[in-house]
Structure 1
Amino acid sequence: MRLDRFDYASQRLPTFCISEQPGTTGGLAMGRHYTASKSRSQGRDGWSVIFRHPSRLDPATGKQGRRVRRGLGTSVDEEADALVDQLNQILQNEGLWESQARSKAIALYDQRIVDVFYDGLEATRTDFRGLREEFLPLPTLADGYPHVLLLGTTGAGKTTAVRQLLGTDPGTERFPSTSTAKTTVADTEIIPTEDGPYQAAVTFAARDEVIDHLTDNVSSAALAIFQGKSNSEALRRLLDHVNQRFRFSYTLGRPTLTSDDDDMPDDEDETDEDATALEADELAAIDSDATAAMLITAVAELRRLVAEQKQGALADLQPQAGDDERVIEELLEEVLDSSLRQLEEFHTIVDNMLHEIELRFALLTEGELRRTRQGWPLTWTLSTEDRGAFLKSVTWLSSNYAPLFGRLLTPLVNGIRVGGPFTSSWADAPQRMVLIDLEGLGHTPKSASTLSTDLAKRLDEVDAILLVDNATAPMQAAPAAALKSIAVSGNTSKLSFLFTHFDRMRADNLPSFADREEHVRASAENMLSSIGEELGTTAERGIRRRLERRCYFVGGMHKPLRPVSNSARRTISQLEALTRQLAEGEESVPLGPAKPVFDRMDLALAVTKAASTYRARWRGLLGLESNSKEHWTRIKALSRRLGEWGWDEYDTLKPVAELRNELQVQIMWLLERPVRWEGEPPTGEQRDAIVEEISSAITSKIYALTEKRIKTDVQSAWLDAYCQQGKGSTFIRAEIIDSDVLERGAPIPTATPSRDGNGLLHAMSALVDQVIEEQDLFRWNGHRS
């Protein structure tokens, strides 16, 4: 049965009145009291309510009054009117506008209305890993299951390696999904078991997060139109978020506007005739033609809105002769963006896209879909003995298979945990380890120079790290950057290497496997030298040791491995050795009684160097110095994520993680140069193991320190930066971030006594003293002054 649809193509996108209570200040953005209204504009049976929230920040204005649209859970007109009336009573009563008043509101109003108003008002962050853990707990090393984190550049083959370890067929099962572009953006955790049912626990991005990304997409499409781009480019931006994490084209499809459009981007799984069959009625449940009509209509509507708002934006700016054209263009973009985001027609486009997305959840006919109080999907779980049915259901949530575009829920998934009797074709039993596959490192130095906070914490949590790299072009910028992060965090001893595409190394000077191995190892020499120059000889020696002892080479991984050729047999042998080593682990080096002694003055120098490097880079990114300025939209998006969302990064902009990384690098240099050693002199391996242990202990505490100083303590400043609007706002925003966030959180130490100016130094000194007290791994030279 086909789901109810709205005829987008045949009518103008509707608008709804959201009015203020009479007697308040005029103008939608200026008022404090708003009036809610009901809506049933998109072919739904049930009614929704639209209102401006008096206590939630509006992304368009940076002030209170966020637009909210929620379902009322009824299709009865009279009941909907009564519920809207209750909501209007709350909107008129300022005493109910704070989260603490929820219990009072519950006693007065319908639970549905209370949920609508207080949803998103209470400052809570969902523990998505905890939700997956409730249904499908991860076994631990104590259970005989080491946790193995796979790292690798986009397209290096780490997800293909996971397929081989699971024994899933690349033609008929396609799990996990692979491609040469960015594929894995959700946390993927897989537990091969010896028996039992196939189980899955999936968590979804929050509704407000999806709405905000859709809003950004609509804004990006409007900006493309303003810049004179084609409808095809506007449609592409409407569907796929700039950082590729939210590819809504997977869910909504990619309608063709003209016959000469570019070919479909190469970001989906390879296709063949043996693909998993899906029933015709399952595919027919979604009307792709209606979705395409909605998207095409949205682009046309945006073109009209941009044309209408452009003149007003120019009038607001009043540019003068001689003004810098580039600056004026940037200001015009910001004013236009702000104007568009305040239009109800703009948000109607977002509503329509969100509605189409919600329809796709009807495809989850198996398992249990658990929703929030507002009806947004929170988790999906499934347990079955039927492998085929299991993988077929998981397809909707993890695939990037092109023929299914327009129906996939993959972009909405932020975590997927799977368990079951998966066995490699070349193994006698399932691999007893938890495989953790996260987002790829990217291709460029910029995308991988600093690992995100979440990924860096995973390095500390897991038992083993498997760096997957392409043997045909090994150790490029991204894996080298990852290795540096592994070294400075004290996790080198967990590291193993898997070089893929070994079968594609074809050259006259590489006739044998041994020649190819030597070529790959030689290619790593420049990378090792670079690490030695940047981090010191301890880091270089540690990684070199892992390359010599824990390095594996495989080829032909894109197809089932059978021992019918020398290359296949060799790959199987390498995988067997790898899995055996990962399962068994290795004995740690005894640290012995020796303890290094360091000069406290070196800590001051280390913090000064870290803060100076960090501040110089960010002054450049903010446009306050001449190097590497980021576009204003990215700085604004970053300030919103730290100020309103409570996140600590946006795409490649990672102010919290970058300060952590700079401190780690300088601490590594400090540990490289002890004043002396106390006790029996350590061996070379003991010395390196002691340095790694100290680095790991300090790193475990730096997370909290950098988060507190660059995010938590200065959240109001980030929010203030985000709220800046109008002429000059880009520069003002940059100044606020530099002075009220970075200067306060990462001040460069000075010789002049200053509590605030030396705050970072004092915090790091206290942190290191705490490590000494708790673990007794090293000493300061002399007494603390």
Structure 2
Amino acid sequence: MAYTASLSPSKDRPGFNITFRHPCRQDAKGKLGLKVRRGLGTTDETEARGLVEQMNQLLADEGWWNANRYTQALGTFATVVVDAFYDGLQAGATASSVLRDSFIRLPDRTDGYARVLFVGTTGAGKTSLLRHFIGSDPERDRFPSTSTAKTTVSDIEVIPSEGPYKAAVTFFSEHAIQANVEDCVIAAATAVWEKMPDDKIADRLLHHADQRFRLSYVLGSWGTVSGDVEEDESNWDFGTQAGTAMVAMSDVGGVDAEEMRALQGELQGYVGRIRRMTDHQAQIIRAELLGSEMSQLDDDQFALEWFQSELQDEDEFRDLVLDIMDAIRQRFNQLTTGSLTWHGRSARWPELWTYQSSNREDFLRQVRWFSSNYAPEFGRLLTPLVDGIRVEGPFWSTFTQHKPRIVYLDGQGLGHTPESSSSVTTHITARFSDVDVILLVDNAEQPIQAAAQAVVRAVAASGHYGKLSIAFTHFDQVKGANLPKFADKKAHVLASLHNYLTRLRDVLNGPIVTAIERTIDDRCFMLGGLSIAQLPRGVVTQMEALFQQFEDSIQLPCAPKITPKYDATTLGFAVQRAVISFQSTWANRLGFASSLAVSSEHWTRVKALNTRIAKELDVEYDSLRPVADFVGRLAEEVSNYLDHPLDWTRSPEDDAESLEAVAPIRQTVFQELHSFAIARLVGEQLSEWRRALDLKGQGSAGRRASAIRGIYELAAPVPGTMQAKSAPRFLEAVQNIVHKAVNDAGGEMIGIAELMNRPH
């Protein structure tokens, strides 16, 4: 294929753009030839045409298509041409946590700080609790943001300390944001295909299906004009002044009428373009489908997938995505304070924003651009583009004079349904080993539902159960004639926890559950009224007890005085059970089996997962988490195996001592399984994921499901089956992880030869 560049005038500003398909970068479908558009930084058409010619020379010679030729290319071509081409070939971006570390180091127990990881369902009150811990006023500060919807979409790290206020904000990569924009445009086009009105089309464009990426924050809300307040026809006014209070709270300033009209015009233009390109493509596809002998169901599914696939090949689609990306990029121009560090040689996409101030009000005003969900500022906010916020400064609680040294780590909430909570995302579980307390924040009105159960299960299997504490929020709403006293209400809430722990014995061996039951009551705290600034004395007492729990967590446990010995020959059975469970779950999700516990996933969600993995954006999509499922099942079965040593260096005094000896092994195995699972399910199978994504035509959804099932069977074969030729290597890899963890803890793995020589 010949690659050539073209020239076009820049939109909304003087100058020219260069557009070309990159021979070494993949598009949304995983194919080489990503469409790239860059500003040339000149208004001289003759100069611009000369730059296009230089790009064509570079595109014509494959010898330049290597990142190592960047320096040589600078000596041959103009910098703007070289940067436009080589930005796509440079090494991967620095990890966001490392970038934040470059400005604000995250302290740990060696610095006298305890690290506390907040985990819980959306709406349980994680962020409201965090506000009280850091002394953030709900009306004056409004940091971090809260709402009943999914508000916290990035990692938020708060370090209370003396000194000035500092912030380090990192962003998702340009590649990841563009992929989300592509998803939104496809969803909006699908709404046109389904003959929906403009407001529904705009909703699909502005709100990603995963409910976390919201273009409305950046581009503005559809149909909103400053000053327009429609009467609530359904009369749901309870006489509150919440709306008035919200407007009064704004010290950043909402989008004015003129700017809002401009935003609406921009959005209307996007919707109009989506309608035109969709109608054109739909006419072609539906005409070709006429006379087909396919069933109506197959016809609808095939036609829609065909339509979505063909749409992504259209220049109109690519141009629209690039225009939206340009609009997003322009939002960074509003940052007049702080320092932006840019990713890439042409400095087109930010990777780090840093800021320091001695004034709390000024500091939070600037940080809110990256964390706010304040509707009157939609069109200016950068919140959906942010993947991490780290702040440091005098963030001390106001309900006590005590100033504990604690690092607070908050993140995305978990799902509510059993399906969405079957496995805790690896973005959370991978941090278990780096923290001192795992604080499960749960709603006392409906305690220990699906998401909370998944957290308790994951913490138990990981060996980190000694870090678990639970904060039950909304305790003030626990009411009943049979619950007159605090003790009665607490017992009512804890009963749900103990009921689940009883059922957990069906998954994990008794000793772990018994260990949790022995101490969990003392690590449960009842909280209420978190939405108000002045906490009741009873809640303050519980919060102070929580602080004490956090501070005590950095005391190092005594080293185990005994070590276990294991029968290496029986580990294979544990791995076999784990893989069978994993394969069975995904057979149900992919539609190859049926179960009351796990339902079949819609083909569009399976394809969305496929897309995320094939484009190396993530290893999961919404509640579809193959890596987390794989880690969870392996960790549980290996944990059960570790609970049954063949022997000890001496007999344990009790179950507590044996658990303490095995816990470090569990923790090491759990941590190592994360990288192992990603390598097996994703890294080594990336070409297969891309082939599955590229499937098209009638029945492609079913063939894609079969391909993904094949990936799982190849990456995680069931040991002991004749069909799995790769099973021995897979089993050996898992055995090596366990063997190393046991040996590093001073234990011993006994092989079959040694077992044969042991006295009976």
TM-score normalised over the length of structure 2 = 0.92
Question: What displacement does 1:605 show?
Answer: 1.2
User: C-alpha offsets along residues 705-733 of structure 1, whole Å, 9 cap, x if unaligned?
Assistant: 21221111111111221222233332332
| 1:236-315 alignment runs, 5 A limit | 236-256=203-223, 273=245, 275-278=248-251, 283-284=255-256, 287-315=259-287
Question: What displacement does 1:145 show?
Answer: 1.0
1:98 corresponds in structure 2 to 66
Check conservation: 1:270, 1:401, Cα contact below 8 A: no
Question: What displacement does 1:283 show?
Answer: 3.9
User: C-alpha offsets along residues 652-703 of structure 1, whole Å, 9 cap, x if unaligned?
Assistant: 2222222111101111222233344441333221122223222112112222
Question: What displacement does 1:247 show?
Answer: 0.9
Rounded Cα–Cα distance in structure 1 between residues aligned with 2:129 and 2:252: 30
2:417 corresponds in structure 1 to 444
Q: Does 1:599 align with 2:570?
A: no
Question: What displacement does 1:236 show?
Answer: 0.7
Rounded Cα–Cα distance in structure 1 between residues aligned with 2:121 and 2:747: 35
| 1:721-736 alignment runs, 5 A limit | 721-736=692-707
Check conservation: 2:134, 2:160, Cα contact below 8 A: yes
Secondary structure of the 1:446 match is: coil
Question: What displacement does 1:367 show?
Answer: 1.1
1:219 corresponds in structure 2 to 186
Secondary structure of the 1:417 match is: strand
Q: CA RMSD in A?
A: 2.7
Question: What displacement does 1:46 show?
Answer: 4.3
Check conservation: 1:232, 1:257, Cα contact below 8 A: no
Counterpart of 1:385, as a letter, is S
Question: What displacement does 1:391 show?
Answer: 0.7
Rounded Cα–Cα distance in structure 1 between residues aligned with 2:543 and 2:601: 43
Number of equivalenced pairs:
742
1:230 corresponds in structure 2 to 197
User: C-alpha offsets along residues 565-596 of structure 1, whole Å, 9 cap, x if unaligned?
Assistant: xxx11111111111122012265654644334
Check conservation: 2:28, 2:182, Cα contact below 8 A: no
Give the 3 Å change call, closer, same or farther, for CA 332–703 of structure 1 in structure 2: same
User: C-alpha offsets along residues 506-565 of structure 1, whole Å, 9 cap, x if unaligned?
Assistant: 222222111111111112122111212221212322332342221111111112225xxx
Rounded Cα–Cα distance in structure 1 between residues aligned with 2:257 and 2:198: 28
Rounded Cα–Cα distance in structure 2 between residues aligned with 1:476 and 1:754: 37
Query: Which of 10, 15, 19 matches 1:50?
Result: 19
Rounded Cα–Cα distance in structure 2 between residues aligned with 1:295 and 1:517: 51
| 1:179-218 alignment runs, 5 A limit | 179-193=147-161, 195-218=162-185
Secondary structure of the 1:326 match is: helix
Counterpart of 2:493, as a letter, is V
Give the 3 Å change call, closer, same or farther, for CA 471–350 of structure 1 in structure 2: same
Question: What displacement does 1:387 show?
Answer: 0.8
User: C-alpha offsets along residues 126-155 of structure 1, whole Å, 9 cap, x if unaligned?
Assistant: 311111110111122111111110111100
| 1:213-612 alignment runs, 5 A limit | 213-256=180-223, 273=245, 275-278=248-251, 283-284=255-256, 287-317=259-289, 320-321=292-293, 323-372=294-343, 373-374=345-346, 375-561=348-534, 568-585=536-553, 587=555, 590=558, 592-612=560-580
Check conservation: 1:271, 1:401, Cα contact below 8 A: no
Question: What displacement does 1:257 show?
Answer: 8.3
Secondary structure of the 1:535 match is: coil
Q: Does 1:665 align with 2:627?
A: no
Check conservation: 2:203, 2:222, Cα contact below 8 A: no
Rounded Cα–Cα distance in structure 1 between residues aligned with 2:279 and 2:537: 64
Rounded Cα–Cα distance in structure 1 between residues aligned with 2:653 and 2:77: 71
Give the 3 Å change call, closer, same or farther, for CA 527–279 of structure 1 in structure 2: closer
Secondary structure of the 1:448 match is: coil
Rounded Cα–Cα distance in structure 2 between residues aligned with 1:591 and 1:583: 20
User: C-alpha offsets along residues 260-301 of structure 1, whole Å, 9 cap, x if unaligned?
Assistant: 9999x99xx975527544365x84498221221221232233
Counterpart of 1:585, as a letter, is S
1:747 corresponds in structure 2 to 717
Q: Does 1:765 align with 2:735?
A: yes
Give the 3 Å change call, closer, same or farther, for CA 667–571 of structure 1 in structure 2: same
Secondary structure of the 2:352 match is: strand
Question: What displacement does 1:319 show?
Answer: 6.2
1:146 corresponds in structure 2 to 114
1:135 corresponds in structure 2 to 103
Question: What displacement does 1:645 show?
Answer: 1.7
Question: What displacement does 1:47 show?
Answer: 2.9
1:20 corresponds in structure 2 to none
1:66 corresponds in structure 2 to 34
Check conservation: 2:743, 2:749, Cα contact below 8 A: no
Rounded Cα–Cα distance in structure 1 between residues aligned with 2:491 and 2:692: 52
Question: What displacement does 1:765 show?
Answer: 1.6
Give the 3 Å change call, closer, same or farther, for CA 262–696 of structure 1 in structure 2: farther
Give the 3 Å change call, closer, same or farther, for CA 141–286 of structure 1 in structure 2: farther
Deviating 4+ runs (over 6 angstroms): 257-263
| 1:118-133 alignment runs, 5 A limit | 118-133=86-101
Rounded Cα–Cα distance in structure 2 between residues aligned with 1:661 and 1:51: 44
Rounded Cα–Cα distance in structure 2 between residues aligned with 1:110 and 1:483: 58
Give the 3 Å change call, closer, same or farther, for CA 453–224 of structure 1 in structure 2: same
Question: What displacement does 1:71 show?
Answer: 2.5
Counterpart of 1:701, as a letter, is E
Counterpart of 1:37, as a letter, is S
Rounded Cα–Cα distance in structure 2 between residues aligned with 1:738 and 1:301: 38
2:603 corresponds in structure 1 to 632
Secondary structure of the 1:534 match is: coil
1:35 corresponds in structure 2 to 4
Counterpart of 1:173, as a letter, is D
Question: What displacement does 1:751 show?
Answer: 5.4
Q: Does 1:115 align with 2:83?
A: yes
Give the 3 Å change call, closer, same or farther, for CA 488–742 of structure 1 in structure 2: same
Rounded Cα–Cα distance in structure 2 between residues aligned with 1:48 and 1:540: 63
Identity rate of aligned residues, in percent?
38
Rounded Cα–Cα distance in structure 1 between residues aligned with 2:379 and 2:211: 16
Q: Does 1:695 align with 2:666?
A: yes
Secondary structure of the 1:150 match is: strand
1:780 corresponds in structure 2 to 750
Check conservation: 2:739, 2:749, Cα contact below 8 A: no
Structure 1 stretch 109-118 or stretch 131-140: which is displaced more? 109-118
Q: Does 1:684 align with 2:655?
A: yes
Counterpart of 1:118, as a letter, is Y
Give the 3 Å change call, closer, same or farther, for CA 319–573 of structure 1 in structure 2: farther
1:641 corresponds in structure 2 to 612
Secondary structure of the 1:415 match is: strand
Question: What displacement does 1:774 show?
Answer: 2.2
Question: What displacement does 1:743 show?
Answer: 2.1
Rounded Cα–Cα distance in structure 1 between residues aligned with 2:617 and 2:333: 31
Question: What displacement does 1:79 show?
Answer: 3.3
Rounded Cα–Cα distance in structure 2 between residues aligned with 1:762 and 1:524: 38
Gaps of 5+ in 1: 1-31, 563-567
Rounded Cα–Cα distance in structure 1 between residues aligned with 2:724 and 2:129: 53
Check conservation: 1:165, 1:431, Cα contact below 8 A: no
Check conservation: 2:27, 2:35, Cα contact below 8 A: yes
Counterpart of 1:733, as a letter, is R
Counterpart of 1:215, as a letter, is E
Counterpart of 1:148, as a letter, is V
Secondary structure of the 1:377 match is: strand
Counterpart of 2:332, as a letter, is F
Structure 1 stretch 756-765 or stretch 67-76: which is displaced more? 67-76
Check conservation: 2:206, 2:214, Cα contact below 8 A: yes
